[in-house]
């Protein structure tokens, strides 16, 4: 049993090796939440909202996921499932985000499974306005749910951390749609119903600005551990310098008394400095998206969006392109897969800065992998290729959907470890110099430098 009413750890974790060390050092403080039975079902719930990888600030970092799975494996747990219901657009387009982000390979490394909760059997629970929606059964049945959210600013919710991340436990597009109206209240409802026992917030690379998918990555090298999702999210608002009153689920939780004065008093005792040394940029959208998504008008938008005609229209490429351009949609649903046939090393460009080693979730030396061609243990996550500030790792194969990430984020990601320049060179380093999406003409003009 816990010996303190509240528990929170904010830990610095710079690089893949540090992430595992910090987990091993910190998780004993949460030993009471882990089942004694090594055959008990454990559900790990990352944020795999879209197919943009963790270096963009969008999704849970494979460095954290592999470190946690390794920790559980070493502790002898045999029934661990990584589960996430990716966002409705990817589900509708039958795009396997779990595979694209290499989460299936990360889980398989330890003999574990990764499942898309959109396709799981559902258990109905009650939401606002008499709505009943289905939560994925593996989440309901698990003896322990470990929430691994990304720290992001979020256009609709204000911030997306522990609370918002649980919406990915809803089964399929229909159940997600049902809960979109009264979103903040329903986010609170799902947390009250599921109440994961442990959360580790991925603030290794957070997202600021127009999250969840079109914001800007911010390297914070931080992990936040805790048990109470309301406490953790309130702490994260302070750490991000984002006004708690603008985080809609937190405001709703406070209204319901789920953030009692004792919790505030506990938070006031903690040093919770701004992780970025400044407030994170708020999630400001363009005029049209802001107008439509205002709480006063959103119900009318949702009434239109939930019609069969609009669902069909939203599935067409030309209308999807229009939605993206106007800011009403944040994702591009490229159907072309990425095929990596190898990475090679440009020896003249590499200055042995070590950035690729700090970002490799598998604990490999990407320089050695590229130099030798021996890819044993490589997940093909491409973190090393994407983060190298000198474009010294050369991609071979078809970029497929990755072309869209490069188009939006290449210049930002290569600066994460202090690099500069050469983004254009990297884009052209892949075979043919253009991605499959670019060739199919579905990529709208660049939104970012």
Burial class (CB in 10 A: 0-12, 13-18, 19+), 446: exposed
Q: Smallest Cα–Cα separation from 128: which of 291, 304, 247, 302?
A: 302
For ligand SF4, give the closer residue by CB, 382 or 436: 382
Among 48, 356, 394, 443, contact with ligand SF4 (rule: CB under 6 A): 356
Closest CA to 279 of 233, 229, 232, 218: 218
Stretch near ligand SF4 under the rule CB under 6 A, chosen from 67-75, 139-147, 238-246, 383-391:
383-391
Which residues are within 8 A (CB) of 276 and not within 5 positions of it... i.e. 6 or more apart? 206, 208, 218, 220, 240, 241
Min CB(148)–ligand SF4 separation in Å = 18
Establish if 201 lies at the interface with ligand SF4 (CB under 6 A). no
Interface with ligand SF4, residue 430, by CB under 6 A: no
Is position 367 an interface residue for ligand SF4 (rule: CB under 6 A)? yes
CB of 73 to ligand SF4, least distance (A): 17
User: Residue 103 CB, nearest distance to ligand SF4 (Å)?
Assistant: 13
Prior bond of 137 cis (ω within 30°) = no
Q: Which two tokens stand for residue 115?
A: 């499942």
Token pair 């919406």 is at which residue?
167
Question: Smaller CB distance to ligand SF4: residue 36 or 348?
Answer: 348
Maximum distance among all Cα pairs of the chain, rounded to whole angstroms = 64
Contact (Cβ atoms closer than 8 angstroms) between residue 408 and residue 346 = no
Q: How far is the CB of 304 from ligand SF4 (least distance, A)?
A: 42
**End-to-end CA separation in angstroms for the chain:** 50
Q: Which is nearer to ligand SF4, 38 or 347 (CB)?
A: 347
C-beta of 215 vs 389, nearer to ligand SF4 = 389
Tell which positions 325-354 bind ligand SF4, by CB under 6 A: 350-354
99 sits near ligand SF4 (criterion: CB under 6 A): no
**Among residues 142 and 381, whose Cβ is nearest to ligand SF4?**
381
Binding residues for ligand SF4, total number by CB under 6 A: 25
Residue reference for tokens 């938070």:
267
Residue 106 interacting with ligand SF4 (CB under 6 A):
no
For ligand SF4, give the closer residue by CB, 104 or 227.
Answer: 104
For ligand SF4, the closer CB: 128 or 380:
380
Inter-axis angle of helices 183-194 and 248-255, nearest 10: 70
Nearer to ligand SF4 by C-beta: 168 or 400? 400
Tell me which of 223, 379, 412, 436 binds ligand SF4, using CB under 6 A. Answer: 379
- Nearer of residues 379 and 436 to ligand SF4, judged by Cβ: 379
Partnered with residue 340 across adjacent β-strands are 397
Q: At what angle do helices 229-240 and 261-269 cross, to 10 degrees?
A: 50
Q: Does 362 bind ligand SF4 (CB under 6 A)?
A: yes
Smallest distance, ligand SF4 to C-beta of residue 352, A: 5
Task: Please say which residue, 108 or 447, places its beta carbon nearer to ligand SF4.
Answer: 108
Q: Does 3 bind ligand SF4 (CB under 6 A)?
A: no
The stretch among 204-212, 266-274, 301-309, 363-371 that binds ligand SF4 (CB under 6 A) is 363-371
* 382 is a site residue for ligand SF4 (CB under 6 A): yes
Under the binding rule (CB under 6 A), the answer on residue 107 touching ligand SF4 is no
CA distance 4 to 6: 5
395 touches ligand SF4 (CB under 6 A) = no
423 is an interface residue for ligand SF4 by CB under 6 A:
no
Does position 414 interact with ligand SF4 (CB under 6 A)? The reply is no
Q: Shortest distance, CB of residue 436 to ligand SF4, whole angstroms?
A: 19
Q: Is position 402 an interface residue for ligand SF4 (rule: CB under 6 A)?
A: no
Query: Does 168 sit near ligand SF4 (CB under 6 A)?
Result: no
For ligand SF4, the closer of residues 152 and 357 by Cβ is 357
Among 360, 406, 437, 443, binds ligand SF4 (CB under 6 A): 360
Footprint on this chain of ligand SF4 (rule: CB under 6 A): 350-356, 360-362, 364, 366-367, 369, 378-384, 388, 390, 392-393
């Amino acid at each position: 049993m816990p010996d303190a009413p509240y528990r929170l750890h904010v830990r610095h974790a710079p690089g893949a090796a540090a992430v595992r060390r910090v987990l091993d050092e910190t998780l004993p403080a949460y030993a009471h939440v882990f089942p004694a039975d090594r055959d008990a079902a454990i559900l790990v719930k990352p944020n795999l909202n879209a197919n943009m990888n963790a270096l963009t600030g969008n999704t849970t970092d494979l460095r954290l996921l592999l470190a946690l799975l390794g920790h559980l494996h070493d502790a002898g747990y045999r029934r661990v499932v990584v589960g996430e219901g990716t966002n409705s657009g990817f589900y509708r387009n039958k795009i396997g985000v779990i595979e694209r982000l290499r989460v299936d390979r990360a889980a398989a490394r330890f003999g574990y499974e990764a499942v898309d909760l959109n396709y799981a059997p559902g258990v109905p629970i009650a939401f606002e306005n008499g709505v009943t929606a289905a939560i994925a059964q593996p989440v309901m049945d698990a003896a322990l749910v470990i929430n691994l959210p990304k720290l992001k600013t979020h256009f609709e919710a204000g911030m997306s951390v522990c609370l918002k991340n649980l919406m990915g436990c809803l089964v399929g597009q229909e159940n997600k749609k049902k809960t979109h109206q009264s979103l903040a209240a329903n986010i609170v409802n799902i947390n009250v119903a599921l109440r994961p026992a442990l959360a580790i917030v991925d603030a290794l690379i957070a997202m600021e600005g127009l999250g969840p998918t079109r914001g800007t990555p911010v390297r914070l090298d931080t992990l936040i551990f805790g048990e109470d999702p309301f406490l953790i999210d309130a702490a994260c608002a302070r750490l991000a310098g984002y006004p708690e009153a603008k985080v809609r689920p937190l405001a709703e939780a406070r209204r319901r008394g789920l953030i009692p004065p004792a919790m505030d008093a506990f938070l006031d005792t903690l040093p919770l400095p701004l992780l970025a040394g400044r407030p994170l940029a708020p999630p400001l959208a363009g005029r049209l998206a802001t107008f439509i998504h205002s709480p006063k008008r959103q119900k009318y938008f949702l009434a239109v969006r939930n019609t069969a005609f609009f669902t069909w229209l939203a599935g067409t490429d030309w209308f999807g392109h229009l939605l993206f351009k106007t800011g009403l949609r944040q994702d591009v649903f490229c159907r072309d897969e990425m095929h990596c046939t190898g990475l090679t090393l440009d020896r003249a460009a590499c200055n042995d800065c070590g950035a690729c080693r700090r970002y490799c979730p598998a604990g490999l030396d990407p320089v050695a992998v590229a130099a030798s061609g021996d890819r044993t243990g490589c997940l093909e996550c491409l973190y090393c290729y994407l983060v190298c500030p000198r474009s010294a790792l050369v991609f071979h194969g078809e970029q497929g959907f990755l072309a869209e990430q490069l188009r939006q984020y290449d210049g930002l990601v290569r600066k994460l470890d202090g690099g500069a320049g050469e983004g254009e060179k990297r884009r052209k380093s892949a075979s043919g110099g253009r991605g499959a999406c670019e060739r199919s003409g579905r990529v709208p003009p660049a939104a970012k430098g």
